[in-house]
Structure 1
């Protein structure tokens, strides 16, 4: 990657990477350093690890980037807060490029980013990259791998998103109530669109490898249902249409969980016939969910066992987190500049640009 001085002032950029110090950070930084094209004027690593004393993040920084790299403590408050710390510490540059610490920028990333920024109009607030998720080459993907493959179709994903600093300032940055790496990008995009900014799809490509995950990852991911409740409070019932987001199976999870709870209640009250009917409904719903996840997969014994067990656990977990979100976010207000909480203007029709078809 060439030196940042090769860029004009309007196209200069800084890179912000929130990180938990995962091994993938080194691969991300080396790909960034080796990509062709003008480089960033600054790289900000936001150390969001919950405890200090680990391996210094600077150990992963390639020599060509060390003079331009700073490390900012994140306080383990989640990626939204970490990104806010990062872009505010990046200096007075027109563009901030957010990267996740587990992505790999493509070999022509710098050149393509330069073209993306040059093609942006004055009201372009953000330009996403084209995310590629490599599938397994020798078998069908697992349930977790199919989940990750959905990132390739996600709109306004901050795994690689260039944002105009003026637009970030205008809307106040990321809403720090989103503590997980989920929906904070869609929320930012909708607030930018509501403020009459435009969003674009760029030409640069970035790879998002699928990292290993534990057996219960699908159960843990149900905590995201609380974030969807917050999105509904902030942007209305139909926010997912505007954000072009996948709605998921929450209504079915609620129905299956309701059938299971009702079956237990009827059994305790001695209503055996009603209990049997509700138990049959629960079993049918759970079996349908399991088959929907097993059939597209590799069909190995380990995958079938994992999916079968988690198909019984996911619906009640989703229901619990949905209810928790309903309580936690019942008084949530629209996020204003720098967390003011001021009501945002009424939503406007989405304005979008495509830099290359």
Structure 2
């Protein structure tokens, strides 16, 4: 039947978990490979049963308690509890293709040098309009490198590097960090052909502000791996330098206006001139950022308003989170 696999699914109890498990269960009840499913119940305050298991998966599924310490810690709990030589991680909001288990068995039929095999992630977008900013962010998962929405590793490779770094508290960068450490240890990573669908989940209009917390994790990576960490981890380029420039311009404008209110004569005129220049720089940077987010979207009044407002707030949010992360990371020895 082929090599055995432990499928690890950390969850905070979202309804999508039941959809995932139902899609994972083989229609004929026959498992194409030795399999165990480990669901890590990472709810902070569990109340009641987590999920109703499909009949085909009941004999091979265990639900183990997590520590509510974030997805990295939950995945570590899962693979430490696993017994099979391969660990396949799935996020609880993906939907495996009907042939996922069969294709997984084919994907893992690889040379001993291969330590990990990524699945293909598909994000369905609206066919009748342009995608919103949040939909485009989610669609970026389809091009992500080594993301644990669907990623399988040899258990020995995970053990060799200590698994996920639990200093990453969010579902952000912890998978790229693990992939880099496994590659640095000599393991090869490749992409298989199994497929999952990652629907765009409903979110608050202000989700783009909440996601800026990931800048703190970027600061940790900068501390761990130096200024070229994006290249090392194969992470896409970000806008942080621009955010820093916009934020600096806004702060300079505010400081110059405050100073002008206390000064007289030529110093006041100079402070006002600085304030005007800095404010112009802030406005130009904010306008460029908003335009870059509005142009590819549906351009509805509601979306334009959201993009305009959040584009003014995101730069200082991003910088503040990065500074918070950097101050915390300074205590860490690389």
> Which TM class, normalised by the smaller chain length?
over 0.9
Cα drift, residue 40 of structure 1: 5.4
* 1:51 pairs with one of 45, 48, 52: 45
Give the distance between the partners of 1:280 and 1:40, measured in 2 at CA. 63
Aligned mate of 2:7, from 6, 15, 26: 15
Give the total of aligned pairs.
322
Q: Contact 2:119–2:194 (CA<8 Å) still a contact in 1?
A: yes
Residue 4 of structure 1 is matched in structure 2 by: none
Does the CA-based 8 Å contact 2:223-2:326 persist in structure 1? Answer: no
> Displacement, 1:238?
1.4
| Runs of 4+ residues deviating >4 angstroms | none
For 1:79, the equivalent position in structure 2 comes to 71
Q: Secondary structure at the match of 1:200?
A: strand
- Rounded to whole Å, the distance in 1 between the matches of 2:51 and 2:283 is 52
Judge conservation of contact 1:44–1:69 (CA < 8 Å) in 2. Answer: yes
In structure 2, runs of 5+ residues without a counterpart are 261-270
* TM-fit CA distance, 1:50: 1.3
Counterpart check, 1:116 vs 2:116: no
Say if 1:39 and 1:306 are closer, same or farther in 2 by CA, change over 3 A: farther
TM-superposed CA distance for 1:49, in Å, is 1.3
RMSD: 1.3
CA drift at 1:28: 0.7
Any conservation in 1 of the 2:70–2:170 contact (CA below 8 Å)? yes
Q: Write the distance in 1 (CA, Å) between the matches of 2:309 and 2:323.
A: 23
The partner residue of 1:70 within 62, 68, 71 is: 62
TM-score (norm 1): 0.88
- Residues in 2 aligned to 1:307 and 1:155: alpha-carbon distance in whole angstroms: 27
- The aligned counterpart of 1:338 is none
Deviations 1:222-258 (A, max 9, x none): 1111111111222222121132211210000000000
How far is the alpha carbon of 1:35 from its aligned partner?
Answer: 6.8
- 1:330 corresponding residue in structure 2: 330
| CA displacement, residues 154-187 of structure 1 (integer Å, 9 cap, x when unaligned) | 0001000111000011111000000000111111
2:137 maps to 1:147: yes
Aligned to 2:302: 302
